[in-house]
Each structure stands twice: as C-alpha cells, then as structure tokens.
Amino acid sequence: MRDKGILNRTMGELASSARRSFLQSVASVAALGAASSSAVTPITREWVYIGPYTGDGSQGIYRVAYEPSTGKLLEPALAAKTTSPSFLEWHPSRRFLYAVNEVREFNGQKGGSVTSFAVDARSGALTELNAVSTKGAGPCHLKCSPDGKALVVANYSAGSTATFTIAGDGRLSEAVEVIQHKGSGPNQQRQKGPHAHGVAMWPYKGKLLTYIADLGLDQVLAFELKTTTAKLTSWAAQPSVRLAPGCGPRHIALHPSAPLAFVINEMASTLTSFRIDPKTSIWTEADSQSTLPKGYNGESWTAEVAVHPNGKFVYGSNRGHDSIAVFAIDLSTGRLALKGFVNTEGRTPRSFAIHRSGSSLIAANQDNGNLASFRVDASSGMPRYTGHQVKLSKPVCVLFT
C-alpha cells in the first residue's frame, strides 16, 4: 500500500508543525509551576476535546487538560456551545475542528447539522465558523479527507451520507450531495431501513476510497471521493462489503500500515477483520470474534473500535458489559486473538481514544457521566486504570490533540 504510506507521511508532515505549536502552547498554559527548585521538570499537559449529548449539564464541546505521563485529567471546561456534538473530527492542519450535531431538525427544517470551529492553540477555545444542514436526521459520525478539502457525514436516522467541501478558512459549504442508502436487515426493530453509522477513508492508487458502515443494511458501502468537488462515486470493484445478517456494523478502523480493516458490529457484539487486496482494494473477511467473555448472558452492544498506533492490537468497547475488549492482530492473516478485557470504570462506554504515543487511553462512559484514563502496556496491549477520572454529563466522543 505504497500510496497510502506516502499520503499518510505527507499529511503527517503537513500537521506536525501545527501540532507541535499547539501542544507547546497548551504546555505553557497548563504546566505545573515548578516549586522552588530549578531541577523540577514541569508536567506537560495536552488538551483533549469531548463531544457529549447536551442537556442535564452539558452545553457543547468541552476541553480537558490531560497529563499523558500520569493519566491525570483536570476538570472539563466549555470550549464552545453547540447542540449534541456527538462526534468530533480534526482538520489535518489542526487549525479547525468539526462536530456533528445529532439532532432531527436544524433551522426549522428536518435534518441534523455539522458545525466548523476555529481552534485557539493557546487557550484551547473554539470559535464557531459556520453550521450547515446535513440534509438528514441524526448525523452521528464524520471524516475529513487527508488533504483537508472535503468532509463526509453519516446520517444515522435518515440512513444517508452527506458531503461538503471545506474552504481555506475552515468553513463548510452547503451539502454538495446526499446519497440515500436503500434496503433493510432481518431485525425489524433496528433494521427496517438503512442507518449510516461510521465513515472511514483509504488512499488507493491515487484515489481516496470512502467506506460507510450501515447498521441497517449489514453492509459497508464503498465509494470513491473526489475531494475537490466532494462528490462520491460507487466503487465499481466492490460497491459494498456484506457482513453477517443482523450484526449491525457500526464503526470501521483501518490498520495504520497493513492492508487490514476492522468493523465493529453493534447488535451482534462482534469484531470482524478483513484483508484488503493491495492490487484491487477488495475486502475479504479474515476473522470474526465476539467482543464479550464466554458465558456472558447480559445485554450489551458495541460502540467504538480503534487500532493501537503500533499496529499490533485492536480494541472494541462494550456497552452493557462496560468493558473494552483487546485483541492481538496477526498481520499476515488478519486473524484476531483475544487478549482480555478491561472495565471502563463507568457505565455505557460510548467511545474511547488511544493517544498517538500508544501509551494511554481515555474512555467516555455515557450513562454515569465520567471520563476515565488508562495506561496501555505496549507489549501486551492491555490498558490499566490510572485511578484518574473526571465527571462530565453524557460524554460520547474523545478526541486527542
């Protein structure tokens, strides 16, 4: 996957200067004052952004000062008021941040919205740039193209995908196009129609393939995205990837270096791995494993999936069992080996994120309203609770700087 590596390196170089400036500014604002000895090294802190459901105490996007070396989380501070920003996404430059607003109506019209923000690197505050309709109810996930020119949003309730162009100042266009998914699944309670739930992107031979996990269809739909126009075209080589009937695919994680993809299935509580043919981009199922312990009979639904930066492990959260399942990845076959489970120190872990260093993880527990931090062992992949947590009503998304 030489093209993917080149593009990843390019975008990494593009954002590295902005990220260093951002983190240095945060450290200077948030660092502990050295007591009286010049030998005392200030503790570096970073901003973590949290997208919650609003109401019952939450008013919008929050920023939390975080100490990667200790796992300590400081009290959340409101970064910007906005309605139910249930998922957040960076622009590659780190100058802008985007949030879906998971609502059913925007400006008196049916459909949710997506909002763009400018980021103040020193204070961590966000300034709203503009908000536009997603032309579909319940937007729940989004992805920015690696070149920063286009944004793709999944509308869960409407079962559609919306696209937007991004201007140089970070503002979003009105929706360029809205693709309505069609079909249903066997579970008539949850799958009477389509429910777009997750977006992922994969550079391939100079093209940008865009994948949409649809819970209602038990499929991952595949498109080519033209970033300059934000137009999607069905990917002829494999327009869709089918999963087990009734499993409810939710989110997708792509491996950072190997041609592998992972889909977490909400309704079946399974994690499915796929090999991606480097010559054709076609997905072939490699393995599927339960995210729950053997013998567990309680209700549970998966939520988030993420691959460790070292590429050796993949993680999935369980709402109900209230845990994160950890799997080792066989890079040659794509098969998964269960390593164990870690309690998320709260109820209903909606999302979690792994620090870019791979050394730490923060879980957002929606129902009891807390954020808990963990240290991650690089050799075993297992997270260990640091003892640090903070309260925040209905946290959903965690976004590291």
Range with the poorest average pLDDT among 40-44, 215-219, 220-224: 40-44
Cα distance between residue 6 and residue 4, in whole Å: 5
**What is the pLDDT, as a whole number, of residue 40?**
54
Asked if residue 7 has pLDDT above 50, the reply is: no
Residue of 366, 375, 370 whose CA lies nearest to 390: 370
Mean pLDDT over residues 48-54, rounded? 98
| Reported confidence tier of residue 28, pLDDT bands at 50, 70, 90 | very low
Asked if residue 21 has pLDDT above 70, the reply is: no
Mean pLDDT over residues 281-287, rounded? 98
**What is the pLDDT, as a whole number, of residue 19?**
52
Kindly report the CA angle at 127 between 45 and 80, in degrees rounded to 5?
Answer: 70
Asked if residue 205 has pLDDT above 80, the reply is: yes
The per-residue pLDDT for range 315-339, each reduced to its tens digit, is 999 999 999 999 999 999 999 999 9
Mean pLDDT for the chain?
92
Asked if residue 3 has pLDDT above 50, the reply is: no
Asked if residue 10 has pLDDT above 50, the reply is: no
Percent of the chain topping pLDDT 70: 90
The β-bridge partners of 272 are 263, 288
b (16+ CB within 10 A) / e for 276-308 = beeeebebebbbbbbbbeeebeeebbbbbbbbb
Asked if residue 274 has pLDDT above 90, the reply is: yes
SS3 28: helix
Asked if residue 140 has pLDDT above 60, the reply is: yes
Helix (H), strand (E) at residue 13: helix 2-30
Helix (H), strand (E) at residue 25: helix 2-30
Cα distance between residue 314 and residue 51, in whole Å: 23
Cα distance between residue 56 and residue 73, in whole Å: 21
The per-residue pLDDT for range 234-258, each reduced to its tens digit, is 999 999 999 999 999 999 999 999 9
Cα distance between residue 308 and residue 311, in whole Å: 5
CA distances from 221 to 164, 174, 270 (A): 18, 23, 19
Asked if residue 5 has pLDDT above 80, the reply is: no
Asked if residue 8 has pLDDT above 80, the reply is: no
Asked if residue 25 has pLDDT above 60, the reply is: no
Q: Which two tokens stand for residue 383?
A: 């997270």
Kindly tell me the burial class for residue 256, based on how many C-beta atoms sit within 10 Å of its own C-beta (0-12, 13-18, 19 or more).
Answer: middle
| Reported confidence tier of residue 32, pLDDT bands at 50, 70, 90 | very low
| Reported confidence tier of residue 213, pLDDT bands at 50, 70, 90 | very high
| Reported confidence tier of residue 9, pLDDT bands at 50, 70, 90 | very low
**What is the pLDDT, as a whole number, of residue 56?**
86
CA distances from 217 to 87, 195, 370 (A): 22, 7, 32
The residues, any chain, with a CB within 8 Å of residue 55's CB and separated by 6 or more, are 393, 394
Q: Which residue in this structure is represented by tokens 């490699």?
A: 286
Phi first, then psi: give them for residue 312, nearest 5 degrees. -95, -20
| Reported confidence tier of residue 361, pLDDT bands at 50, 70, 90 | very high
